[in-house]
Amino acid sequence: MTSSASRGRPDSPRVVTDSAALSQVLRKARTGGKVIGLVPTMGALHAGHLSLVRASVAACDLTVVTIFVNPTQFGPNEDFTRYPRTLEADLQMLGREQADLVFAPAADQVYRAGFSTYVEPPDVAQPLEGRCRPGHFRGVATIVLKLFHLIPADVAFFGQKDYQQVRVIQAMVADLDVPIRVVICPTVRDPDGLALSSRNRYLNATERRQAVAISRSLARAEELVRDGERCAATIHSAMRAVLTSAGIERVDYVALVDPLTLTDVDPVPDGTMALVAAFVGGTRLIDNRQLGKG
């Protein structure tokens, strides 16, 4: 990537690194009446991200993928510096998926000197990740709203794996009348059930085997609900037992919540979201599943 708007190899998408070049390209697309799809990412792309790109390419005339490791959504003891940055490989994958444009700005382009305005995230940001990662959703809401302004897309695509993030973005879009449609795409999983995540690459072989217990704990919850179990405490402890028996001891939360408000439910109705956040070795992973008839 050598210029602010470049197309490298013939199969790689056009890459834009500054917002002036970006708005020039997008202004043309908008006046041409094109439907614009946006896929915000932090790079280190995997098949989950590519499923979002595919959904956008299928539904929109022009697909913009953003690649930006957003510093404001990482806590002081989190993995911001270590987060995988794999731009060349990402661009190759995006070329194969026929993404049209990649916006990959430098941090000082996005957060210019003196930046001090943040989005106060909605109520759904409070529990779960909000409690475990203070400030995380303030950073997410701020960058996503900035991206929505920089890229006047018609539709934005997010993965269900980050379910609370999607709810935060949906609530923000509704509360602030942002003219964009938010589409949630299903979580993509490895064949054994592990939800794809850029952080899976931190896992060693033993941890990778343990990590599958997270999706198994969600499958156990589903099994219980399908069998008629409605007691939240019973389902919680069955889920925790699956994690513990795999050697996963550090569990941030196991939750059974209303899919819209993310408040705890008990008894557990069909449509409840089960969510887990746990450390496998030093790696914090999250996953979720809607239980019963959604």
Residues that bind ligand PAF in the complex, under the rule CB under 6 A: 40-42, 70, 73, 140, 143-144, 162, 165
Q: In what order do the strands lie in the sheet with 101-103?
A: 5-7, 14-16, 101-103, 62-67, 36-41, 155-159, 181-185
Residue 149 is a catalytic residue: no
Work out whether the CA dihedral 211, 187, 39, 16 comes out positive or negative: positive
Q: How far apart are CA 289 and CA 218, in angstroms?
A: 6
Q: What minimum distance in Å lies between the beta carbon of 140 and ligand PAF?
A: 5
* Helix (H/G/I), strand (E/B), else coil: 121: coil
Closer to ligand PAF by Cβ: residue 83 or 279: 83
Which has the closest alpha carbon to 106: 143, 70, 140? 70
Instruction: Tokens for 176, please give them.
Output: 């602030």
Q: What minimum distance in Å lies between the beta carbon of 290 and ligand PAF?
A: 19
Residues 6+ apart with CB under 8 A from 102: 13, 14, 15, 16, 64, 65, 66, 67, 90, 91, 94
CB 215 within 8 A of CB 254: no
Closer to ligand PAF by Cβ: residue 73 or 210: 73
**Adjacent-strand bridge partners of 5:** 16
Q: What minimum distance in Å lies between the beta carbon of 37 and ligand PAF?
A: 15
Q: What minimum distance in Å lies between the beta carbon of 256 and ligand PAF?
A: 23
Closer to ligand PAF by Cβ: residue 41 or 63: 41
How far does CA 280 lie from the centroid of its chain? Answer: 19
Q: What minimum distance in Å lies between the beta carbon of 254 and ligand PAF?
A: 22
Query: Considering 46, 49, 136, 236, which one is annotated as catalytic?
Result: 49
Which has the closest alpha carbon to 152: 17, 25, 13? 25
Residues with a catalytic annotation lie at: 49
